[in-house]
Structure 1
Amino acid sequence: MYHVVCATTNPSKINAILQAFHDIYGEGSCHIESVVVESGVPEQPFGNIETRTGARSRVINARQVRPKADFWVAIEAGIDEGSTFSWVVIENQAQRGEARSATLPLPEVILQKVKAGEALGPVMSEYTGIDKIGRKEGAIGVFTAGKLTRSSVYHQAVVLALSPFHNEIYR
């Protein structure tokens, strides 16, 4: 059984990671441990580079906190060119896998508040009345009428980031 350390306590991220590992390695193949670590970037990262840096930093910090795990996983959500997206970074002792999620265009009314310094999650909670929406369906759930959720979009990116670990051609 793999010991997977997730650099998050966010249920939507943890569920996506757990489901992706089960999809790739089989049901019951891993034990997930959640740790709180810093990203080294602002609460609301802007741009591709800052967002990926946040995910990479979280993995580095998770490795320091739990050095004996089999995998370390981080998901960092950011905003770039008017859309929200995430970077997934996964490492084991030998290699790294990274993938960027799908992007969701945000309405200007939301973007204005985020550009003014507010994080997307609290802005969306205020807009929708859903407390801690970032730990639930997220903006993507609201703007896709529930057809997609944060967890479903993260899941796809985690599966993609896992590809170097189970395909021999990457080694």
Structure 2
Amino acid sequence: MYVAIGSENPVKVTAVERVCAEAETTALGVDSGVPEQPRGRAETVRGATNRAEAALSATDADYGVGIEGGVAERDTPAGLWLIMWAAVTDGTTTHFGAGPSIRLPDPVAERLRDGEELGPVLDDELGREELGRQEGAIGVYTAGRVSRTDALTDAVAGAFGPFLR
């Protein structure tokens, strides 16, 4: 099996490689076609889909995988939530999987509502650099109990599952 990954982010690549341990993989920097900070489920899923399709079309892989993290407002329970979605396509069919979702703290949420992006906000709030290429927001807000790689692995496994069963 040959899998093309629509990102060169090491966390996303590792998540795919965990799910597809026996596969040959290629990581490609592709355009998500959505803003740097996707907002809402539809935009986040569209980014994952675009990445999967672009990765597949740029290679002769059997599958293309796209992963996108975003934020979404919810009424119940109220707040701005971190979301993550994966898409896997074979060029004919696309399946999706979601990772865990957590409510973002109000100070972070307010900055995002004002138009900032999550990665730079967290780097600023926590005095860090490139948190999104490390444990990510999920790692920070679960005190390391769930890493970004763990969360994205769950999303990828959910999306790949229908192809692998």
Which residue identity does 1:73 align to in structure 2? V
Once the two structures are superposed, what CA deviation does each residue of 1:20-73 show, in whole Å capped at 9, x if it has no partner? 112xxxxxx11221111111111001001111111111122222322x101110
SS at match of 2:66: strand
How far 1:94 moved relative to its partner? Answer: 4.2
Distance 2:91 2:136 in 1: 32
Could you list the per-position Cα deviations for residues 96-136 of structure 1 after superposition, in whole angstroms to 9, with x for gaps in the alignment? 22112110110010011111121101111111122100000
Question: Displacement of 1:137 after TM fit?
Answer: 0.2
Q: Which amino acid aligns with 1:53?
A: R
Take 2:158 and 2:138, find their aligned partners in 1: how far apart are those partners? 19
Indicate the RMSD between aligned Cα atoms, in angstroms.
Answer: 1.1
Distance 1:63 1:6 in 2: 8
1:127-138 matches, within 5 Å, as 127-138=125-136
Separation in structure 2 between the aligned mates of residue 18 and residue 138 of structure 1, nearest angstrom: 18
Following TM superposition, where does structure 1 have runs of at least 4 consecutive aligned residues deviating by more than 4 angstroms? none
TM-score (norm 2): 0.92
TM-score by length of 1: 0.89
Stretches of structure 2 that go unaligned for 5 or more consecutive residues are 74-79
Query: For the residues of structure 1 that align with 2:53 and 2:3, how far apart are their CA atoms?
Result: 14
The CA distance in 1 between the partners of 2:125 and 2:11, in whole Å, is: 20
Contact 1:8–1:34 (8 Å) recurs in 2: yes
CA contact (8 A) 1:89 1:99 kept: yes
Partner of residue 75, structure 1:
67
- Aligned residue-pair number: 159
Alignment of 1:73-152 (within 5 A): 73-81=65-73, 82-152=80-150
State the alpha-carbon separation in 2 of the partners of residues 12 and 125 from structure 1.
17
Identify the match of residue 48 of structure 1 among 41, 51, 60.
Answer: 41
The whole-number CA distance in structure 2 between the counterparts of 1:19 and 1:38 is 23
Contact 1:96–1:164 (8 Å) recurs in 2: no
- 1:93 positional shift: 4.1
| Partner secondary structure for residue 20 of structure 2 | helix
Question: Which residue identity lines up with residue 104 of structure 1 in the other structure?
Answer: I
Deviation at 1:8, TM superposition (A): 0.5
Counterpart Cα distance in 2 of 1:63 and 1:163: 18
Shift of 1:6: 0.5
Q: Percent identity?
A: 34
Residues in 2 aligned to 1:158 and 1:64: alpha-carbon distance in whole angstroms: 19
Counterpart CA distance in 2 for 1:61 and 1:115 is: 29
Distance in 1 of aligned mates of 2:42 and 2:91: 24
